[in-house]
Amino acid sequence: MLMLFLVALASATLLPGGSEVWLARLWCQGEPGWWLWGVASVGNTLGSLVNVGLGRYARHFQDRRWFPVSRQGLARAERWYLRFGEWSLLASWAPVIGDPLTVLAGILRLPWWRAILLIAVAKGARYALVLWLAEAWLAPLCA
């Protein structure tokens, strides 16, 4: 279970991970689905909150030459975020766009409680879907 937590946490940061595979593997080994769901959801939510924190901290360095996003790129991201708002964090579960959304929420100083709530809902839904798919498709293979 600790490994699932760590992989889920790392998967939510800018590091690669495979938490869904770990979750399905442990489910096939007979671990309770509700427990797996909770561990993976909490780990992945905390990993995304690391991204939010990095975004908050990174804003201090936006005027440095080595800052990875140009001033124009940051302004474009801010316009996009203002257009779709904090509700865009409900897509934080998605590959490719999820991590940048959480960093952007930090850069734009979304209140912590809102970030936690929206990210937790998104991550919980993601792992509920993974467990549902595991039960629907993997159950015959796990026996």
Identify the residue with better confidence: 14 or 27: 27
Q: What rounded mean pLDDT belongs to the chain?
A: 87
The Cα-based distances of 86 to 51, 90, 94, 96 in angstroms read 15, 8, 15, 18
More confident residue, 90 or 63: 90
Residue count of the chain: 143
What does each C-alpha distance from 34 to 6, 84, 92, 100, 124 come to in angstroms? 18, 32, 21, 29, 11
| 33: confidence class by pLDDT, cuts 50, 70, 90 | very high
Question: 108 is written with which tokens?
Answer: 């734009």
Average pLDDT over residues 49-74: 83
Name which of 93, 69, 78 is nearest 11 in CA terms.
93
Range ranked top by mean pLDDT from 42-46, 55-59, 98-102, 136-140: 42-46
